[in-house]
Chain A
């Protein structure tokens, strides 16, 4: 079995990038104390509006902008429903996934007149870095990619720095661990939560736009195909820590890259699909007891109320 290593590394990065963007969004939500299983839907809606923006304007950048705005709005819907109106976080997430499927399917027919998929639109082309891409083996894989790949990796580092080295990060973590302590120290918890979740919407916007304007140049129904859930898995497999989430996203990207490369008679590709999910359950079982999950994730916070 001969596998082209350059090609394998390249597609690991390509498949890992959308997962990484959305996993970082999930990481921020969980660290600030809000469970978000609506990542899949946020990504799908962003992918849709990315294509719509490019379709209407002819510019991929407008598409990206619209995707980010859509991502922020859906994230705020989750935030307002759960924080302001006390909706259950898990149910709100499920509702967002369902809304995304319904709304994108509906708008697809309304705007383009055909169900299934949109026409091809202007997307982002690869942005290879001169000279560096000519390095043998790793050059084309690492330096011949779209700029999205680099932004995703840089954002992972930035979010690691933000969470572990800055005051803002400390506040985000406190909001997810001991929100009453944060409040006692004179910082309002809810604004921290709203802003962090809005930022997670930006990240989902980037992930959705990368999917529909860089990996592909159109939108098709349910095109995220579970990537949002794999991103959620990456957050947990990565133990709620940015560097490990980066590793998990790349590992899941690698697993996806292998699916189209392993010969049918060696291992059925259908069974490779389950790798991310199986390793996540194993990770949960192994680390469950000494869980590194934020202590107050999923617990609604009411300012001034007594929390035991």
Chain B
């Protein structure tokens, strides 16, 4: 157990340092803008954890982030880079908007069916990129970026035509209350069952990756495509599982937002949740359980950023700057450590870079 704890501690070091660096850079920006950083960070802390409503905001922000984070981390473990989170999220959300309005099933069967369908929609979008990668060597980074735009535009078209709810704001009608993800309670406003879905998903992803043969095959592929090939792993299937599985989690995130947070889906449909998921995955060291922590950190930054804007008039865009700085610093191999030889132990990131011309 002690060994495990110290492993966690050393894994958390780089994300923690990156976070500290970004907060320092944030403080410098505040000083230049004529704001006392201590006052600002106090406001950020109060806005994210300081009260029940602040904590509720943090956790409701974290709910989709945890899932889009797992969408990235899961594919990473298979050696593939899933930046298609936005498109997979949109596929899940529009599926939930469609079924959430039209489906009429007894009891919990309603939301469960919608969630499964949304996960399948996200998985389909992800798996498509997986097939194109394995079969045609089309690079998954480019394909998933292109798919983001394609799926988001198709989703918007669906919302403006077949799914048009003819409401004041263009978009779908309100979902049936039976299909909604109920609020969790505990005096935390905004937090709904989607958070439970996200945590269960993180545990399920962990069990799949480390306790099943398919998960092992996926991780072997992530470490070395050649080794996986020689041990008989089907590359196409592995790529489909990595990106399709990732897509399923992003699809769930989209469904959670529609069924739990908004109750409908509106146009224009802009989210950055897929890209923020990359930050979540990196903060969580590409471990599904780590993504819970990563999601809460980014959720808190965004909730606290809103509060800072309200209290001190600093634009909430500062939170985006902080996340960007975290992203840049967290993958710098040599920023925090002395220059050393390239690590012998494979990491998903290294294999991704090598996978460009596989």
Q: Which of B56-64, B100-108, B237-245, B332-340 contacts its partner?
A: B332-340
- Quick check: A300 and B145 within 8 Å, CB to CB? no
Q: Tell me, yes or no, whether A233 is within 8 Å of chain B by CB.
A: yes
Cβ of A188 to closest chain B Cβ, rounded Å: 17
Q: Tell me, yes or no, whether B163 is within 8 Å of chain A by CB.
A: no
Q: How far is the CA of A285 from the CA of B137 in the complex (A)?
A: 8
- Quick check: B146 and A233 within 8 Å, CB to CB? yes
Q: How far is the CA of A285 from the CA of B139 in the complex (A)?
A: 9
Q: How far is the CA of A90 from the CA of B328 in the complex (A)?
A: 10
Q: Pick the contact of B352 from A90, A232, A271 — CB < 8 Å?
A: A90
Cβ of A301 to closest chain B Cβ, rounded Å: 11
Q: Tell me, yes or no, whether A89 is within 8 Å of chain B by CB.
A: yes
- Quick check: B320 and A86 within 8 Å, CB to CB? no
B141 cross-chain contacts in A, Cβ below 8 A: 35, 37, 90
Known: A98-B327, A103-B317. A288 touches B150 (CB 8 A): no
Q: Pick the contact of B353 from A84, A88, A96, A236 — CB < 8 Å?
A: A88
Q: Which of B1-9, B152-160, B195-203 contacts its partner?
A: B152-160
Interface string of B301-329 (1 = CB under 8 A from A): 00000000000000101111111110111
Q: Pick the contact of B327 from A94, A110, A236 — CB < 8 Å?
A: A94
Q: Pick the contact of A102 from B136, B320, B357 — CB < 8 Å?
A: B320
Interface string of A269-295 (1 = CB under 8 A from B): 011011001101100110011010101
- Quick check: B332 and A81 within 8 Å, CB to CB? yes
- Quick check: B33 and A90 within 8 Å, CB to CB? no
Q: Tell me, yes or no, whether B73 is within 8 Å of chain A by CB.
A: no
- Quick check: A299 and B356 within 8 Å, CB to CB? yes
Of all chain B residues, the one with the shortest Cβ separation from A298 is: B356
Q: Tell me, yes or no, whether A115 is within 8 Å of chain B by CB.
A: yes
Q: Pick the contact of B156 from A99, A226, A270 — CB < 8 Å?
A: A270
B357 cross-chain contacts in A, Cβ below 8 A: 291, 293, 295-296, 299
Q: Tell me, yes or no, whether B83 is within 8 Å of chain A by CB.
A: yes
- Quick check: A110 and B325 within 8 Å, CB to CB? no
Interface string of B338-358 (1 = CB under 8 A from A): 000010000001001110110
Of all chain A residues, the one with the shortest Cβ separation from B132 is: A285
B136 cross-chain contacts in A, Cβ below 8 A: 284-285, 288-289
Q: Tell me, yes or no, whether B275 is within 8 Å of chain A by CB.
A: yes
Of all chain A residues, the one with the shortest Cβ separation from B156 is: A270
- Quick check: B320 and A98 within 8 Å, CB to CB? yes
Q: How far is the CA of A229 from the CA of B143 in the complex (A)?
A: 11
A101 cross-chain contacts in B, Cβ below 8 A: 272, 317, 320
Q: Tell me, yes or no, whether B282 is within 8 Å of chain A by CB.
A: yes
- Quick check: B332 and A284 within 8 Å, CB to CB? no
B132 cross-chain contacts in A, Cβ below 8 A: 281, 284-285, 288
Q: How far is the CA of A98 from the CA of B154 in the complex (A)?
A: 24
Q: How far is the CA of A268 from the CA of B132 in the complex (A)?
A: 27
Q: Tell me, yes or no, whether A305 is within 8 Å of chain B by CB.
A: yes
B33 cross-chain contacts in A, Cβ below 8 A: 110
Q: Pick the contact of B143 from A97, A105, A281 — CB < 8 Å?
A: A281
Q: How far is the CA of A88 from the CA of B153 in the complex (A)?
A: 29
Q: How far is the CA of A115 from the CA of B318 in the complex (A)?
A: 13
B39 cross-chain contacts in A, Cβ below 8 A: none
Cβ of A154 to closest chain B Cβ, rounded Å: 28
Of all chain A residues, the one with the shortest Cβ separation from B81 is: A90
Cβ of B89 to closest chain A Cβ, rounded Å: 16
Query: Other CB < 8 Å A-B pairs besides A102-B321, A233-B142, 11 of them?
Result: A87-B331, A90-B83, A92-B331, A95-B328, A99-B325, A102-B320, A108-B315, A109-B317, A280-B142, A285-B136, A293-B357
- 3 tightest CB-CB pairs across the interface, nearest first? A102-B320, A105-B317, A99-B324
